[in-house]
Each structure stands twice: as C-alpha cells, then as structure tokens.
Amino acid sequence: MNDKLSIPFGRPLIGDEDRRAVLQVLRGHILTHGANCAAFEREFAAMMRGGYCITTSSCMAALHLSALHIGLGPGDEAIVPAMTHVATAHAVEITGAKPVFVDCEPTTGNPDIAAIEAAVTDRTKAIFVVHFAGIPLNMTRLVKFAKKRDLPIVEDCALAVGARWDGQHVGLFGHTGCFSFYPVKHITTGEGGMLASQHADVAGEMARFRAFNVDRTHAERSIPGVYDVAGPGLNYRMSELQAALGRGQLAKIQEFLDQRAANFQKLKSGLGKVKGVRVLDATSQRAESAHYCAVVVLEGDLGERRDEVVLRLNERGVGTSVYYPHPVPRLHHYREKYGYKPEDFPNAAEISDRSVSLPVGPHLDGDDMAAIATAFADIAAELDGG
C-alpha cells in the first residue's frame, strides 16, 4: 500500500514577495485609504480587461452593497439561485426583500435561465446569479432577458476570478459583480472582496456608500477632517495590508488559472474511467471556466453512499468539500420562513446530497490529480463490491 496522500482541498499560496508587500505597509503609516487599495482596484480592472473596481471587506459586503444600491426592500422580490453560497440569498434577505429561489442546471450547477424567466413577477426588482464553481453562466441570454424586463443583474463571482463568457470577464455583464478573497478562493487577502461594475457611475456611488457615504475622500478634502454626508452608508472598506497582499496574489493569477485548468482536465479525464460519475463543467465553447474545483456528482447507487466516499477519500489523505451542502432554501432560516418541499429544486438537491468537490488548486500538480483519480476509482470499486 502506498503512503497516505497529503492533498488539502484548499491552501493559500503566499509567497515571500506577498509577505514583503504586507511588511512594507506596516513600515509606513498609511493603513487604510491608501495607494494599495487604489492600485489593487486598477490592477483588478486591468486583469478583467475593463470595468471599474471597488475593494470591499468581503464578497458578502459587495453583495449587500449591491442589493442596497438597487434599492431592494420589503415588498420586493429578487431571483436567487438555490445552488449557491448562502451569502447570495442573505444579501437579499437582509434588506427585507424576498429571495425567490430557482433551480440549477444538472450539467453546470449554474442557475437555470428558463427557471429565472419563469420566476419573474411584477414584484421582481433584481436577478442575482452565481457562476457556479467558476463555470460562467450564459450571460448573453440572461442579459437579453433582463434588458427586456428592465431588471438589474448582480453576479456572484466569488468562485469565478478569471472566468469569461464570450471573452468578457464575468462581473461586467450586469449592474455589479462581486468577488471574494477568502483564503480558499482563487486569490486571497485573508478576508476581502471586490465589487466590479461596467458602469462608472455605479462604481463611484458604491465607493462612497462603502465608506459611510461621505461626500469626499481623504484626497479630495482641502481642509483635513472636513466632509459632508449625502445619505446613509456603511464601512465595508478593505485595509492597505489586505490590498498589498491582494496585489501580490493578483500578479500570479494567470499562473494560478493555468495550473487549475491543467489540473482540472487531468482529473476529469482520470475520473472518466469511473462508472456512474459526472463532473460538472462548461457546456459551451463560449465559456471559459475559472476551474474553482471539480464537482463530481455520484449517479446511481454510489450517490446513496456519498458520505462514505468522502470519508474514504479523507482517510487516504485526499481533502474534499461539498459545494454547497444544502440548496439555500433548505437551510433552517429559509426553510422555516418560506417553506420547502423535498421535491423542490431537484437538481440543486442532487448536487448537495450526491456530489463531492475535489481540489484542483495551484497548490497541487498533475501527479496529485492522478493520485486523486486512482483513489477515487479504488473507492468506487470497493463500494460497488460491498
């Protein structure tokens, strides 16, 4: 028997240059409102090849700001994917508006656009979508529908840095796009996020909104400390320490994405030999995935034994996760408040209950992928036999 594997699901890759950049901030005296946040915003927009970016304290903060900027409130509805992180739904729920959930596609895990179209009512005020596990949604189709109904789109891009649809980076199709720099995501700032918009005015308003809604930044104040306030706001800023780390991380994004793509292809083809599994992936040539992880749906009998598959993989030293452990409407708060029937959202429920997410991050290489595929095939055969 081989030695136990040591393959974590996710691990931030912090280099010496990242550490030096953070120390450089600490050697100075500007810990917030500084050049690093401004540069990180410019550099992120350059990576996307367009748009306007605003650093935030998290993706949740960016989603919340988006919901507030649209003006969601009691009496309104917003479309939300059933298969997403709870943050997408919370952004709507916390404003008092009602999240109206839609099921996902079984092939990509992305929200089903026909279901979105069917769920829109006279009360709908926004459409929230997610690019599931980094697979870009068909934004051409969604934007066309949203324009016809005059509905703003908020893209949850937390797992989608580097994902493009028709060559255009996700997050730039609708009202706003919201990114996460939580440690296991594509790049990290510890905690942190980025709000992107194709509209300069939207980004400008939200930059103020994110910083107490004061009417001028530090740089714009002729008398230090003197400002006025145009309306209510929040403090959802990122610090200079985080931005310095984020810039170092962003400089390596293409390298990270290339390794992810190579790992994903290798793992997917390795799993091709295993009967009764399906790896979620883009279904269109127009989609360029960011390959956050490999979501492997166990079909047939193996699906009933998902938790055993997970435990056996973990025993062998293969780190796993589940994206996402429940369809959001099945989580306690949402289930109690809005009601949930077991037959609702069957595609989302299948992914929650019968899938295992495998790592493809740049902390791993092709040999790791081969080892994961072998371990997976062994376990499937063991469980098939007994």
Ligand X SMILES: *Cc1c(COP(=O)(O)O)cnc(C)c1O
Cβ–Cβ < 8 Å for 155, 131: yes
Is 87 or 196 the residue whose CB approaches ligand X more closely? 87
Q: To 10 degrees, the CA torsion angle through 176, 180, 181, 186?
A: -100
338 upstream amide cis, omega within 30 of 0: no
* Largest Cα span, the chain: 77
Is 154 or 380 the residue whose CB approaches ligand X more closely? 154
Q: Footprint of ligand X on residues 76-95 (CB under 6 A)?
A: 84-85, 87-88
Q: Footprint of ligand X on residues 112-151 (CB under 6 A)?
A: 130
Smallest distance from ligand X to CB 5, Å: 25
C-alpha distances (whole Å) from 132 to each of 31, 39, 111 are 34, 28, 8
Smallest distance from ligand X to CB 216, Å: 28
Measure the CA–CA gap between 129 and 138, rounded to whole angstroms: 11
Among 22, 53, 59, 172, binds ligand X (CB under 6 A): 59
When asked if residue 158 is in the footprint of ligand X (CB under 6 A), the reply is: yes
Measure the CA–CA gap between 344 and 335, rounded to whole angstroms: 11
Measure the CA–CA gap between 295 and 202, rounded to whole angstroms: 34
Smallest distance from ligand X to CB 315, Å: 27
Smallest distance from ligand X to CB 156, Å: 5
Is 323 or 376 the residue whose CB approaches ligand X more closely? 323
Among 40, 128, 173, 182, binds ligand X (CB under 6 A): 182
Measure the CA–CA gap between 302 and 53, rounded to whole angstroms: 44
When asked if residue 180 is in the footprint of ligand X (CB under 6 A), the reply is: yes
Residue type, 278: R
Cβ–Cβ < 8 Å for 279, 72: no
Burial classification of residue 100, based on how many CB atoms lie within 10 Å of its CB (0-12 exposed, 13-18 middle, 19 or more buried): buried
Site stretch for ligand X (CB under 6 A), options 4-12, 53-61, 145-153, 378-386:
53-61
Smallest distance from ligand X to CB 269, Å: 26
Is 58 or 352 the residue whose CB approaches ligand X more closely? 58
Smallest distance from ligand X to CB 155, Å: 10
When asked if residue 97 is in the footprint of ligand X (CB under 6 A), the reply is: no
Q: Which of 377, 171, 133 is nearest to 274 (CA)?
A: 377
Among 7, 115, 159, 380, binds ligand X (CB under 6 A): 159
Q: Footprint of ligand X on residues 184-243 (CB under 6 A)?
A: 193
Measure the CA–CA gap between 356 and 358, rounded to whole angstroms: 6
Residues lying near ligand X in the complex (CB under 6 A):
58-60, 84-85, 87-88, 130, 156, 158-159, 180, 182, 193
